[in-house]
Structure 1
Amino acid sequence: MTITYQWRGAFDNAALNALHADGFAHPAAQTDWQTRLERHSLGWVCAWEEGTLMGFVNVIWDGGAHAFILDTVVARHHQAQGVGAALVAAAAREARAAKCEWLHVDFDEHLRPFYLDACGFKETAAGLIAL
């Protein structure tokens, strides 16, 4: 399997919606990802295998020192093979290149080993308000 990773790679909304549906096991949405990302993101990383979008992570930021990763997703048949960690590593490199000083993530408890062990995030105290 040859996977290529592309910062701010071109993608089709339908392909990213299908990837989200597959990776997160929910029905496909009709999200306009291109407009959303251009408006709110520092960038994103696409993972491709033979022309098929099979991984993605979004990097949003505050315009300064803080970047945040969202929507990390890998196609089910590629999960647990290091693709997600490679996506996050590419996101971290690009955020560092943009002079960000911090890369934040929040996650559900079952993803703790992925983000803390595989990706190298450190546990911190944080807060959240459900809106």
Structure 2
Amino acid sequence: MITYEWRGAFEDPEVNALHAEGFGHPVLDIGWHEQLHGHSLGWVCARDEDGALVGFVNVAWDGGVHAFVLDTVVAGRCRRQGVGAGLVARAAQGARDAHCEWLHVDFDDEHRDFYLEACGFRETGAGLIAL
């Protein structure tokens, strides 16, 4: 059983480890608490029955009506079980509760089905500059 919590409690090392696993990089020492509390509308933590962090998504915003899904990640052992879609659904509800009108997401082609089919986003035109 997976539980989800909007603005759930977490420790930086557990998010760093999950992020490294999910995005295939070494474990970094990112100060998630400071970063999220300073720049995000909220985040969602997914935990298994033992309390282990198995999913995470960050919801940044513009301070107004636009929110942005970032860093959606699910532990390998929990993928393809609806955890990612559950994270995004709770992120959307959190943004809705904060009176945002739009929830944006950017994704690579390999994640197209997840975001468009499983999460209900619709495709739009967008622009991007690699910095």
What's the TM-score bracket when you normalise by the shorter of the two chains? over 0.9
Aligned partners of 1:25, 1:116: CA distance in 2, in Å?
23
* Aligned counterpart, 1:119: 119
Aligned partners of 1:81, 1:23: CA distance in 2, in Å?
15
**Residue 22 of structure 1: CA displacement?**
1.3
* Aligned counterpart, 1:30: 29
* Aligned counterpart, 1:79: 79
How do residues 28-107 of structure 1 correspond to structure 2 at under 5 angstroms? 28-49=27-48, 50-107=50-107
Kindly report the root-mean-square deviation, in angstroms, between the aligned alpha carbons of the 2 structures: 0.6
**Residue 47 of structure 1: CA displacement?**
0.1
**Residue 25 of structure 1: CA displacement?**
1.9
Aligned pair count? 130
- Cα displacement string for residues 71-98 of structure 1 (whole angstroms, at most 9, x for unaligned residues): 0000011111100000000000110010
* Aligned counterpart, 1:18: 17
Q: TM-score, normalised by structure 2?
A: 0.98
Aligned partners of 2:6, 2:34: CA distance in 1, in Å?
17
Aligned partners of 1:25, 1:62: CA distance in 2, in Å?
29
Q: TM-score, normalised by structure 1?
A: 0.98
Aligned partners of 1:113, 1:126: CA distance in 2, in Å?
18
Aligned partners of 1:10, 1:35: CA distance in 2, in Å?
13
5+ unaligned residues in a row in structure 2: which ranges? none
Identical aligned residues as a percent: 65
5+ unaligned residues in a row in structure 1: which ranges? none
**Residue 6 of structure 1: CA displacement?**
0.5
**Residue 108 of structure 1: CA displacement?**
0.5
SS in 1 for 2:9: coil
